[in-house]
Amino acid sequence: MVAKIFRPILCRCVAVVAVLAIALGLAPIGQAEAQLRIEITEGQVAPTPIAIAEFTGPDGNVTAVGRQLTQIISDDLESSGLFRPVDSAAFIDPPKAPSVKPNFANWSPLGVKGLLVGSAYIDDAGMLQVEFVLWDVVIQRNITAGGGNADQSGLRRLAHQIADFVYEEFTGDSGYFDTQIVYVAESGTQSRRLKRLAIMDQDGHNHRYLTSGLDLVLTPRFSPTANEIAYLNYFNDEPNVYLFEVATGRTERLGSFPGMTFAPRFGPDGDKLIMSLAQDGMTDIYEMDMRTQSINQLTKSASIDTSPSYAPDGNRIVFNSDRGGSQQLYVMDADGSNVRRISYGVGRYATPVWSPRGDIIAFTKMANGQFYIGVMNVDGSGERLLADGFLVEGPTWAPNGRVLMYFKQEPFEADGSGGATHVYRIDITGFNERRIVTPSDASDPAWSPLLR
């Protein structure tokens, strides 16, 4: 079954703002935004109160699609822990259209910093038409505006994109709501675990399975375009890295090598992929040219070298090695030279992932019979542990480098039951840990880049 989907594209549109600005006698966008900035890195912040008026139709009345859109936007912003959408029951006389200047006297008393107003309706051609304006209630100006249209199936993505606009205006960072998660859906008892690739929006909606579960699959990772997923597949009981094309479902084994390939990750441009190749008991890191599928060996030692991850500029690679006697984190140049150890704390360190911002590295740590998710600076200093448990593993970054996702497994019972395994996300401040709801147990999450 092939469904045709119009991909929603939402534009922050200078033209719209200019028209509005002229009509309303306001200054154009871009002059005042700084005073509302939320600084996320300095510990827990009080969520910013914001009013989101339900989007209206051409007649000024709230529409069904408008109600859906505003609920999704509100849920997104609330889930970040940085915003507190105010109950709409407290609203007095919300503007009937995005072109109408709000009466700020009605909004200041609510304590809100921002007011989002918009229109959303299905036009005669059956297309969803959306416009919005974000007002700064403090300085009484519109700070961003935009609009777009989509097939009605694109409603959720349009809402996520608007939420990203709002997030961006208030935090100065790009958002992460218009993203997807690929992960491994798990079912069955401990020794007969059925594992399938599954994909969903970052809020858990639009969930679907990508593989049948006939073959064991592990560790999916998105390409930089989110169009492809590299993962470990036990086809014919031979574990190798495969590529899954999201749009078509086509799978392809990446190269053919004597031994097991695993632990794949794309380079920042998608033209390269790094992975491990285990051969004769030795596991080294190789770089693959995605056009020719030729490989280049980067590490050469009798130790286990695995879980490589590129820096966002592609110039360095962080990886996991037991060359010093136990699992620790190492950084090397992208050509394999200049290897230096960066982790020196108590315990064993694994699964390093370089932040998209480049400044820190997330990892799994094992110490004192517990597992931890943590972050450290690129030189190994400044270690902070964010989450812990019987087993927490496999951090993955939101594209803005502000939020981590990982999975947590509870202990199994002697009959193979128990072992609840779920995906969680947490701010890099260590606050706002939330479980992502999935239809079954879930592990090995990978966060997509912002969709385009």
Partner 1 sequence: MFQRILAIVAATFLFAACETASEVGGDSASTSSASSASSASSSASAAKTEADKLAEVGNTVYFDFDSSELSENAQMTLNRQAAFLNVNPTLVIVVEGHADERGTREYNLALGDRRATAVRDYLLAKGLNSARVRTVSYGKERPAVEGSTEAAWEKNRRAATVLN
Of 212-251, binders to partner 1 (CB under 8 A) are: 212-214, 216, 218-219, 232, 237-239, 246-249
CB of 145 to partner 1, least distance (A): 10
CA dihedral for 251, 237, 194, 177, sign (positive or negative): negative
Distance from the Cα of residue 266 to its chain's centroid: 16
Q: According to the binding rule CB under 8 A, does residue 189 interact with partner 1?
A: yes
User: Which residue's CB is nearer to partner 1, number 71 or number 189?
Assistant: 189
Q: According to the binding rule CB under 8 A, does residue 431 interact with partner 1?
A: no
> Within a 13 Å sphere around the CA of 236, how many CA atoms are in the beta-carbon half?
5
Instruction: Report how far apart, in Å, the C-alpha atoms of 381 and of each of 301, 363, 384, 415 are.
Output: 26, 13, 9, 43
Q: How far apart are CA 79 and CA 372, in angstroms?
A: 23
**Residue entry with tokens 């996520």:** 160
Looking at 133-141, 192-200, 376-384, 426-434, which segment touches partner 1 (CB under 8 A)?
A: 192-200
Among residues 18, 32, 391, 450, the one that binds partner 1 under rule CB under 8 A: 391
Q: CA 440, 446, 449: angle at the middle one, nearest 5?
A: 130
Among residue numbers 368 through 387, which ones bind partner 1 (CB under 8 A)?
Answer: none
CB of 419 to partner 1, least distance (A): 7
Q: How far apart are CA 396 and CA 220, in angstroms?
A: 11
Q: How far apart are CA 350 and CA 225, in angstroms?
A: 26
Q: How far apart are CA 427 and CA 266, in angstroms?
A: 24
User: Which residue's CB is nearer to partner 1, number 36 or number 295?
Assistant: 295
Among residue numbers 264 through 303, which ones bind partner 1 (CB under 8 A)?
Answer: 276, 278, 280-281, 283
Residues binding partner 1: what is the number (CB under 8 A)?
78
Q: According to the binding rule CB under 8 A, does residue 414 interact with partner 1?
A: yes
Among residue numbers 60 through 89, which ones bind partner 1 (CB under 8 A)?
Answer: none
Among residues 58, 61, 209, 293, the one that binds partner 1 under rule CB under 8 A: 209
Q: According to the binding rule CB under 8 A, does residue 444 interact with partner 1?
A: yes
Among residues 327, 328, 355, 448, the one that binds partner 1 under rule CB under 8 A: 327
Q: Say how many C-beta atoms besides its own lie within 10 A of residue 110's C-beta.
A: 17
Q: How far apart are CA 402 and CA 175, in angstroms?
A: 9
CB of 206 to partner 1, least distance (A): 11
Q: x/- site string to partner 1, residues 8 to 47, per CB under 8 A?
A: -xxx-x-xx-------------------------------
The strand pairing partners of 389, in sequence order, are 371
